[in-house]
Amino acid sequence: MMKMHGLGDGPYWMITYGYFLALSVIYMLCFVTFGSVLGLKFFTLNDYSIQFVFYFIYINLQITLAFLLASFFSSVKTATVTAYIGIFGTGLLSGFLFQFFIQDSSFPRGWIIFMELYPGFALYRGLYEFAQSATSGSNVGTDGMRWHDLSDSANGMKEVLIIMFAEWIVVLFVAYYIDQVFSTGSGKRPLFFLKGFQKKPLSSCKTLSIQRQGSKVLVQMEKPDVMQEREKVEQLLLEPTIDHAIVCDNLKKFYPGRDGNPGKFAVRELSLAVPRGECFGMLGPNGAGKTSFISMMIGLTKPTSGAAYVQGLDIKTHMDGIYTSMGV
């Protein structure tokens, strides 16, 4: 909805990311503060700077991972249930399986690092190292984890920080890429980032007008006003002007049949030219194609065939530019 009102992907991602980051940082500060006030050695003995770096990197990884997974869910309930199952499952596996591997000195270190690629296990390993350092320091009357302890081969905090930081950066770019490609209604081509290296195509209206030169549209059994509108559109495509804000040429939307039901044309060969400044309305019974037409014009669904232009921009390839002058 924000994109339909002209908000670009950059500001949207920055605002959303900043909101969740601020929320997570506040939670982290409250978590450490209350733990320290209560005198929990887990917080008081370990270096606060290490704790801050660990929590800060993890909450950023958590946010980017949420952005990534959001592209694969269309229902909030499904995403919520899946997240709870993942959280409970990770906790159980970490406590009864992963911890056993960490404590087993004969278990290959490489496999532990491989398992830590899963963010849930990386979080558990970091908390485990904090707990072990705090317990050891409390027993001998010394401090817990300090920065120089990260060089100890038995301490897994260093590798955890490296893994989470690398995943944070990688997942952020992957999440943005998937969001751009699979975005509903306005998804880009998989190689959209190579757009700058490709030849710029001719303007949309001009390209279609060239293709239509020398060809005639057969119009049979159409009402005079429909024929007149179609001829007007053909003329505008041959001689583009800036006087018309919307031009639709032979626009179609076909939904294939499912479960043995036949396919259906929601919009059939619509040709329309709306002058700039005109207030245009559509009247018709249910199933006439009004909503389907609007959905195509705002980028929610893609047309099966035909072409439509808003301010001279093709709805198939320049939807981002159209959004800057559209209100839905």
pLDDT at 36: 93
pLDDT at 214 over 70: no
Q: Look at the domain 204-323 and name its fold.
A: Rossmann fold (3.40.50)
d(Cα 306, Cα 297) in Å, to the nearest integer?
Answer: 12
Whether the Cβ atoms of residue 263 and residue 269 lie closer than 8 Å to each other: no
pLDDT at 47: 92
Query: Residue 61 to residues 54, 99, 111, 148, 168: CA-CA distances in angstroms?
Result: 11, 22, 21, 25, 5
- Mean pLDDT for the chain overall: 83
d(Cα 309, Cα 233) in Å, to the nearest integer?
Answer: 11
pLDDT tens digit sequence for 6-27: 666 778 889 999 999 999 999 9
pLDDT tens digit sequence for 245-288: 889 988 889 988 887 888 888 888 888 888 888 888 888 888 88
pLDDT tens digit sequence for 114-135: 999 999 999 999 999 999 999 9
Stretch 240-249: mean pLDDT: 84
Range 302-305 contact pairs with CB under 8 angstroms and sequence separation of 24 or more: 302/185, 303/251, 303/252, 303/253, 303/267, 304/252, 304/253, 304/254, 305/250, 305/251, 305/252
pLDDT at 190: 57
pLDDT tens digit sequence for 32-80: 999 999 999 999 999 999 999 999 999 999 999 999 998 888 888 999 9
Q: Name the residue with tokens 């970490």.
A: 94
Q: End-to-end alpha-carbon separation of the chain, Å?
A: 8
d(Cα 229, Cα 217) in Å, to the nearest integer?
Answer: 13
Q: Name the residue with tokens 């309305």.
A: 281
**115: closest CA among 93, 84, 92?**
93
Whether the Cβ atoms of residue 233 and residue 247 lie closer than 8 Å to each other: yes
Q: Which of 29-38, 102-111, 215-224 has the lowest mean pLDDT?
A: 215-224
pLDDT tens digit sequence for 131-164: 999 998 888 888 889 998 898 888 889 999 999 9
Query: Residue 140 to residues 46, 84, 143, 146: CA-CA distances in angstroms?
Result: 14, 39, 9, 15
d(Cα 296, Cα 311) in Å, to the nearest integer?
Answer: 15
pLDDT at 218: 43
Higher pLDDT, 75 or 214: 75
| φ/ψ of residue 59, rounded to 5 | -65, -30
Every domain of the chain with CATH number 3.40.50.300 lies at: 204-323
7 burial type by CB count under 10 A (0-12 exposed, 13-18 middle, 19+ buried): middle
pTM to 2 decimal places: 0.68
